[in-house]
């Protein structure tokens, strides 16, 4: 069993993704001390009657309404109930775990002021894999998703343990816990900050990193099949363009295609290849560079306090600071950027698929069908890829510019970070499907080569792996079933790593 990941310093996006997939999370002793210290500051603020947003005032446009001490618990409870107005299909188990992990990480900085018991209840749900049911739609920022998690903490809402649906009260009882009675500020802290966007962003990064490795593999197989030129990925000419991503992709392609007999046979037959083949290092590399920038932003967000207000000082000298750190502008822009980069990799993959199935340029049987006319082969698979690329083009429109006005002009600029992360995940899902189609088409192309020629060592190994799971296509079954099989192969940890080698 893997060692648990401890919240001591800031978590990274890789930590969030690992915990989302099932790794355990522990709170370190220093993190517990920071949480308890911040709670002591909130208690002091309450005791001294120092005004603090959402502590002893209303929220949003009601921020100047003073809440009496006896009503501050009611305020916290009411914030959870009133903000839990999300709609649509729920987040998946992994997505919910990611959001909850990011919440805990934010509280562990020690500036939010929630009680240790509240964080421990979140941890207990995470450890038992009892996941609150979180509607996926209806958020302009973070409120509705987080409120659905908060519902379970107070015994409302619902949760899933495997396939079993539980009420919030039943979920807590299964852990030997009773519903929390939230104290001052806890209701606001539970719905506040950017953990929803950050958690989803971490998953988008993890899935993108895996798929970018598969994109290089798919490009190498297609490149080899189409009789391309052997030296276009040589290190020195690629190095004339300054790009870490380009260099990494070029090195990877050289490794994939090393000593390919197929490429040796076609060397010198063309002056240059079409861009969807020749420009793989430039396009995939640029996407990797964008990925690196986004990953840095997400890690900075995880290292940041995104609660509002933040509490500081000490119980003897308490401070409360109303800032706008819960505004996820950086995340919204980053997720919009990632969606565009992923969509670009998907678009060039679809162009390579088209070249594989088009007899005018491939030199292979039309649509990779062994019995053209009677069989359509991969004709409509390319249609599917084209449709998904078109969908990505729509999804890649920036969410961060959507804007809007809420709460009676008090919240009059919205950055839509959580929707930006959600649609980035949708673009990533489409990339996975498109790459699955390209990998299957490339495997089929090997089967239909007019001459029996050796493949490069790594492409041959990947071809064998695909064929061990998915036989050649002969219009003898629904093709979508092959897509699903290929996706499962791509998702198998034994066949894909976070690094450059999908085997």
- All domains of the chain, ordered by start, with CATH? 5-192 (1.10.275.10), 201-307+325-491 (1.20.200.10)
Answer for the pair 335, 290: CB distance below 8 angstroms, yes or no.
no
Residue 414 tokens, joined: 């919205």
pLDDT of residue 301: 96
Q: How far apart are CA 480 and CA 437, in angstroms?
A: 10
Q: What is the pTM of this model?
A: 0.94
- What is the bridge-based pairing of β-strands 87-90 and 130-132? unpaired
- Quick one: what percent of the chain has pLDDT higher than 90? 77
Residue 368 DSSP symbol: G
Structure confidence at residue 177 as a pLDDT band (50, 70, 90)? very high
Reported as a single tens digit per residue, the pLDDT across 87-102 is 989 999 999 999 999 9
pLDDT of residue 216: 98
**Of 212, 496, 498, nearest in space to 338 by CA:** 212
**Of 418, 426, 420, nearest in space to 99 by CA:** 418
- How far does CA 37 lie from the centroid of its chain? 33
Answer for the pair 66, 56: CB distance below 8 angstroms, yes or no.
yes
Which comes out higher in pLDDT, residue 72 or 413? 72
Q: How far apart are CA 259 and CA 247, in angstroms?
A: 20
pLDDT of residue 498: 36
Q: How far apart are CA 72 and CA 63, in angstroms?
A: 14
Answer for the pair 332, 415: CB distance below 8 angstroms, yes or no.
yes
Q: How far apart are CA 147 and CA 131, in angstroms?
A: 13
- How far does CA 110 lie from the centroid of its chain? 26
Answer for the pair 356, 441: CB distance below 8 angstroms, yes or no.
yes
Neighbours of 373 (CB within 10 A): 7
pLDDT of residue 166: 97
Q: How far apart are CA 368 and CA 366, in angstroms?
A: 5
Average pLDDT over the chain, rounded to whole?
Answer: 92
Catalytic residue among 53, 111, 378, 463: 53
Name residues whose C-beta falls within 8 Å of residue 204's C-beta, 6 or more positions apart in sequence.
335, 338, 421, 424, 425, 428
Reported as a single tens digit per residue, the pLDDT across 117-155 is 999 999 999 999 999 999 988 777 678 899 999 999 999
Q: How far apart are CA 493 and CA 454, in angstroms?
A: 28
Task: Give the count of alpha carbons within 13 A of 134, CB side only.
Answer: 28
Evaluate the CA torsion angle 131, 132, 133, 135 in order and state its sign: negative
**Of 132, 135, 137, nearest in space to 103 by CA:** 132
Answer for the pair 439, 221: CB distance below 8 angstroms, yes or no.
yes
* Residue 497 confidence (pLDDT) above 50: no
- What is the bridge-based pairing of β-strands 158-161 and 164-167? antiparallel
Q: How far apart are CA 346 and CA 219, in angstroms?
A: 11
Residue 431 tokens, joined: 């990339």
Mean pLDDT of 169-188: 96
Residue 227 tokens, joined: 């009789």
Determine whether 53 is an active site residue. Answer: yes
Mean pLDDT of 101-115: 96
Structure confidence at residue 412 as a pLDDT band (50, 70, 90)? low
CB-based burial label for 453 (10 Å; 0-12, 13-18, 19+): middle
pLDDT of residue 271: 83
- 123-132, 156-165, 267-276, 484-493: least confidently modelled range: 267-276
Mean pLDDT of 5-21: 95
Helix or strand run (H / E) with residue 56 = none
* Residue 313 confidence (pLDDT) above 60: yes
Q: How far apart are CA 183 and CA 283, in angstroms?
A: 52
Mean pLDDT of 264-281: 89
Q: How far apart are CA 463 and CA 457, in angstroms?
A: 10
Residue 361 tokens, joined: 């340029």
Q: How far apart are CA 459 and CA 258, in angstroms?
A: 9
Structure confidence at residue 500 as a pLDDT band (50, 70, 90)? very low
Helix or strand run (H / E) with residue 311 = strand 310-313
Name residues whose C-beta falls within 8 Å of residue 203's C-beta, 6 or more positions apart in sequence.
16, 17, 20, 94, 95, 98, 425
């Amino acid at each position: 069993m893997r060692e648990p990941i401890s919240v001591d310093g800031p978590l990274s996006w890789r930590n969030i993704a690992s915990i989302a997939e099932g790794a355990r999370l522990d709170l370190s002793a220093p993190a517990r001390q920071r949480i308890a210290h911040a709670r002591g500051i909130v208690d002091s603020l309450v005791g001294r009657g120092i005004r603090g947003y959402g502590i002893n005032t209303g929220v949003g446009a009601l921020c100047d309404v003073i809440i009496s001490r006896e009503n501050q618990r009611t305020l916290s409870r009411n914030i959870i109930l009133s903000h839990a107005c999300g709609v649509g299909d729920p987040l998946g188990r992994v997505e919910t775990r990611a959001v909850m992990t990011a919440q805990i990480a934010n509280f562990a900085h020690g500036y939010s002021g929630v009680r240790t018991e509240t964080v421990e209840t979140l941890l207990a749900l995470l450890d038992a894999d009892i996941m609150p049911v979180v509607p996926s739609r209806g958020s302009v920022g973070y409120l509705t998703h987080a409120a659905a998690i908060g519902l379970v903490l107070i015994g409302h809402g619902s949760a899933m343990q495997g396939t079993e649906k539980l009420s919030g009260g039943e979920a807590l009882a299964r852990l030997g816990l009773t519903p929390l009675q939230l104290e001052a500020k806890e209701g606001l802290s539970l719905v506040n900050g950017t953990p929803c966007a950050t958690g989803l962003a971490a998953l988008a990064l993890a899935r993108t990193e895996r798929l970018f490795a598969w994109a290089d593999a798919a490009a190498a197989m297609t490149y080899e099949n189409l009789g391309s030129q052997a030296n276009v990925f040589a290190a020195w000419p690629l190095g004339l363009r300054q790009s870490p991503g380009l260099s990494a992709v070029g090195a990877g392609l050289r490794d994939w295609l090393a000593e390919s007999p197929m490429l040796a046979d076609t060397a010198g037959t063309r002056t240059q290849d079409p861009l969807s083949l020749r420009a793989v290092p430039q396009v995939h590399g640029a996407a990797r560079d964008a990925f690196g920038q986004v990953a840095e932003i997400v890690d900075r967000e995880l290292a940041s306090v995104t609660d509002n207000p933040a509490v500081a000082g000490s119980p003897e000298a308490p401070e409360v600071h109303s800032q706008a750190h819960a505004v996820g502008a950086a995340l919204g822009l980053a997720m919009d950027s990632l969606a565009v980069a992923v969509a670009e990799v998907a678009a060039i993959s679809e162009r390579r698929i088209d070249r594989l199935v088009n007899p005018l340029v491939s030199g292979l049987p039309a649509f990779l069908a062994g019995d053209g006319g009677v069989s359509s082969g991969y004709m409509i698979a390319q249609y599917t890829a084209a449709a998904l690329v078109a969908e990505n083009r729509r999804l890649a429109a920036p969410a961060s510019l959507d804007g809007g006005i809420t709460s009676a002009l008090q919240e009059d600029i919205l950055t839509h970070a959580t929707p930006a992360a959600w649609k980035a995940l949708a673009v990533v899902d489409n990339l996975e499907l498109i790459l699955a189609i390209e990998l299957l088409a490339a495997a089929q192309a090997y089967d239909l080569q007019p001459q029996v020629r050796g493949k490069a060592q790594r492409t041959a190994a990947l071809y064998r792996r695909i064929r061990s799971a998915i036989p050649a296509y002969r219009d003898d079954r629904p093709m979508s079933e092959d897509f699903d099989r290929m996706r499962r192969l791509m998702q198998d940890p034994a066949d894909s790593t976070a690094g450059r080698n999908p085997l």
